[in-house]
Amino acid sequence: MTSMRFLHPAAPAAGRVPRPLPKVRVTHFVPLAMFFALVCTPGFTSVGPVNMSVGMFPIVLYGYSAAAREAYNSLMPGARQVLTFILGVILAICGWNFVTAFGAEEFIRVFRPIYGHASGLAIVIAILALSRSMDGAKKARVMCLIIMAVSLGSTVLIAPRSYNDRYPGFFKHPNQLGLIAAMATLYFFCEMMSARGRQRLWLALGLVLSAYAMLLSGSKTNLLIVAALCVCSVPLLAFQRLNIRAALNETYRNLIVAGGMLFIGGMALSLTSERAFNVLSTLLSGEQEVEQYHSINSRDHLWEESWQQGTAHPLTGVGSGQLMLDGTEHSHNVLLDALRTTGFPGLGLTLLFIFAILFYALGAYKAARALQRQSGSRQFVSEVRGSLVGSLLALMSYILANQMSDSFGPTTIPFFYMYLGFSLTFFLPAEPGTSFVRACRSDTLPQR
């Protein structure tokens, strides 16, 4: 690479047409690969509260920024407007997090959630920069998925440490592993159900590795979410088809397959995490009331404390990233944690962020089906529906899980942004130079 900004086109001379961005080479994927490998192993690549990925952050941000800007300008108008709004909300959240630092007990911890968002956006920037063609987008996705699958697949090799029968893998806590593995399981499931031929075997391997890691984590919240969303994914995938009869036939067939997979997963859970299997069995059978479950009771205490601290400091909270009174890192509910740490303004921004993501996911799903009729769109290739729907469901899984778990933690939120980046690549031109202003209607995605 002759320059750090390796995807930046040379400045054109006066009066000349700007030259296209150079072709993406294998070496252009290296910075993202190194950065993402560090993101996938925080339990082993962190020094205190700081992950070593911070050293690669400026390289990724600066190296991919020019090409990412070109990709951003090429997004179809509706997607670009929604993304602009989401980016504005994220910047407002990070800015308000910094404001809350002035009343925080541990100043350094304020930067943990800020860096979580920043590292996630760096991954989005890199993915967009590498996705100026369908082949580049596919390579970027495959590279990230392989790194993540290796990290998840190595879980069984790492001892449970201090969590009894629950495995944290390369992460700091089993719930973090469960949350990340749940998103990966949904993505691989959707990809596998819509893939063909030999590719399906590789996706099945990714599905097995991510599902096994999720079972080893023993995260009951994520197990239930994945089971529900896997069933929901079947009609969502099928009705991306334009032929209704073919969509109905696929729905019936894949519901049987999904049911069989969930049954096998339930049996495997009894072998990998007997305690989680027993808890879910008693709860689902009605033998134990949800209110009597000890994990719910402990969360009730954390939620009550979070509400009290938030209402006691309604403007700025106790400070972004601050620990709870008993040393717990978060409130096990993203909304109450936002209230506790950043006050009511932070809570409002968090709600706005969640609604913006939900708005984007709904609009992207609807747009994907409409764009199949457009030859200038990447949705013209029907095989991409598994990746798109899988990415959108991974976003939904993360939001749902954070109502009981990680609270948009800096360790897990980069993976959320990774799937956001995956989904955005399908709203870029099918070929370099193809304009979505000509190829697609500007109202295909809802406007802001």
Structure tokens at 101: 């630092």
Residues 6+ apart with CB under 8 A from 148: 36, 40, 180, 184, 210, 415
Is residue 5 a part of any domain in this protein? no
Alpha-carbon gap, residue 64 to 288, rounded angstroms = 52
* Residue 221: half-sphere exposure toward Cβ, Cα within 13 Å: 24
Our CA angle for 117, 138, 418, nearest 5°, is 15
Contact 345, 404 (CB under 8 A): no
Number of domains in the chain: 1
Burial per residue of 215-233, b for 16 or more beta-carbon CB atoms within 10 angstroms, e otherwise: bbbbbbbbbbbbbebbeeb
| Residue 191 counted as domain residue | yes
Determine, yes or no, domain membership for 135: yes
In a domain, 336, yes or no: yes
Residue 16 included in any domain: no
From the CB of residue 295, how many other CB atoms can be counted at a distance below 10 Å?
A: 13
In a domain, 15, yes or no: no
Q: Which two tokens stand for residue 202?
A: 């590789």
Beta strands in 282-441 (DSSP E): none
pLDDT in tens, 385-443: 899 999 999 999 999 999 988 778 889 999 999 999 999 998 887 654 443 322 333 33
Specify whether the CB–CB gap between 63 and 188 falls below 8 A: no
Phi, psi for residue 238 in degrees, rounded to 5: -65, -40
DSSP H helical ranges for 195-312: 198-217, 220-238, 244-272, 274-285, 294-312
Q: What is the pTM of this model?
A: 0.88
CA dist 211 and 182 (Å) reads 7
Enclosing domain of residue 96: 26-439
Residue 386 counted as domain residue: yes
> Tell me, what's the pLDDT at 90?
96
Helix (H) or strand (E) holding 47: strand 46-47
Consecutive sets of 10 residues in the chain, 448 residues long: mean pLDDT of each?
A: 39 47 78 93 80 90 91 89 95 94 87 93 95 86 94 82 76 90 96 87 93 91 94 92 86 92 90 80 67 64 90 92 85 92 95 96 88 61 81 96 86 95 87 38 36
Structural domain includes residue 448: no
Estimate to the nearest angstrom the gap between the alpha carbon of 265 and the chain centroid. Answer: 23
C-alpha distances in Å from residue 45, one per residue of 36, 53, 73: 12, 8, 35
β-strand partners of 50: 47
pLDDT tens-digit readout, 17-68: 444 555 778 889 999 999 999 999 988 888 777 788 888 999 999 999 989 9
> What span, in angstroms and rounded, lies between the C-alpha atoms of 112 and 94?
10
